[in-house]
Structure 1
Amino acid sequence: MLRPVVVGLDGSRESLTAADWAAREALRRGLPLRLVHAAEVPVTGASDLPELAVPRHWARRILREATEQLNDRYPELYLSGELVAPPAAQALVTAGDAGELLVIGSRAFSGLGGFLAGSVALQAVTHVARPVVLVRAGQTAEDEHVLDAQGRPTADTPYRTVVVGVDAARPAEQVLAFAFESAALRGAPLRAVYAWRLPFARAAADAFARETEEAAARSALAAVLAPWREKFPTVEVVELVEEGHPAQRLLCAAQDAGLLAVGRRIRPARLGVHTGPVAHAVMHHVRCPVAIVPHD
């Protein structure tokens, strides 16, 4: 049975943009799309209190209108929608675990309001066992493609580069698999970024130490990517090895990207909302869609 692409929906501009991106991703992958909306009140049960009628009405309307819009835009897509019971965070995690990937609208995580803002989004990112893609409001199909010869946005040009962060010392197979597959589906180049740093401060002024460390980093990255190049021979891979902090190097590398993939190490204790410093930085500052991929 095919796992669907799942998108969390709350009616906000961010979540509607995420739903549109998720629809395109589902078509690229040949998968169904499942819209999930967590109502603020129980969606089933014996309670017929009048004060619950309006919230239930709006919950159904949000789901119905989004479904209609996506059916109009993507008639070839198999689409379903579901109201799920609160709490919203747990509902989203459960739905995401059952999907191929989870897509949610991304907004300022420090702000208030919205089903997908703040702690709900962070709970999904840090607890879903599948890749989670964050999509900012305003992203369009044209933004996934390079500009045309006149510098105008269009969906008729090739896809923008997919960028992946690689830790060559501890490579994450799940992250690389997601990145290579995403690039292959788009016919896009893949930019693999490995940031290295000198192991001790005293060597900062030592040119030989820096050259040695950089050469070792290039060799390590090439070795990690070699089997993936063989598995995905049609993907053009650009290896980017730079000195510096991984988050900073990724922020620079993703400025013109169509998708950025980074890893999130699975922690034995599923408590709190720990994403790691690199994922935390790119979630807040990268403009393109960001895929957070859990790995061992």
Structure 2
Amino acid sequence: MKEYIATALGAGIVGFLPFLNLNPQPNTPAGSPSPAPIPRLQKPPVIQLQQSTKPTKRHRIQVQVISLNDLKIAEGSDVVAGQIISDRTEERQSLEAERKQIENSIQQLSIPTSKLAELPEPNFAIEEAAIQQIKDELQLMEAHSVAPAPETSFRFKDETLRKLLEAKQLEERAEAITAEANNRTKLAESKARLVGQLNSAIAALNKAKSNYQHQQYEHSLNLVRQQSEMQRQQYQIASLVGQKQEIEGKLREITQIKSPVAGKVRRIKNLGQKDRQINLEVVIDVQ
């Protein structure tokens, strides 16, 4: 506010001077002393008004920004209490997008993987049944093997009869031996065929057992791989959770700076820069 102070006393005197009787007295006798000279009127003093100024109150605010675009005011602009002075919008949006990407990655890694199925119990019933069947056939074949015919001898007193009957007997004997030999050959061939089948059946059983052992080995390797993959995923999730917490900490540090007072921005001073952070001082003339 402005005050005007007037010198009232001086004005009163100037106004009062015209009413004073300062003229010389008429009929002054000769030889009388001369009256004192009438003083000349001076110009009225100039009334000076003094302006009383109240010192302006200033408010200083320090802000940190990454880009000058984060500053929402300019020198000479008017501000009201609660108006946003700075807001690191670009940095906030970038951090929020990074946090969203990390959350998506955590969600994908958290999907449970399908559990590896256990191997079924080994079953070699078919191979074992084939082996047992061949063994049974071999045993049956051994039981029905042709026994050699006993040798018989006949002696007749009559020389002619003896010669006739012995020749016939020899011929029958030869035929029996031939038939026996043929039967033994067939039996040996059949036996050899069964032995071959038995060996093949045993080999099939051994192969089935070997395949199952290989399946067990592969299954154990798959279990190890699955456990390693699960541990790797858990490590990745823990790392991503740490990154997310770090980003959320940075987001908490990014706050909107609002003016606590109303007034006009007098000056924005650059206090220096550290890394990417620009330090500014905003001076507001408080209204």
TM tier relative to shorter chain: under 0.3
For CA contacts below 8 A with separation 6 or more, give which structure has more relative contact order.
Answer: 2
Greater percentage in strand: 1
Greater percentage in helix: 2
TM-score (norm 1): 0.15
TM-score (norm 2): 0.15
Structure label with greater radius of gyration: 2
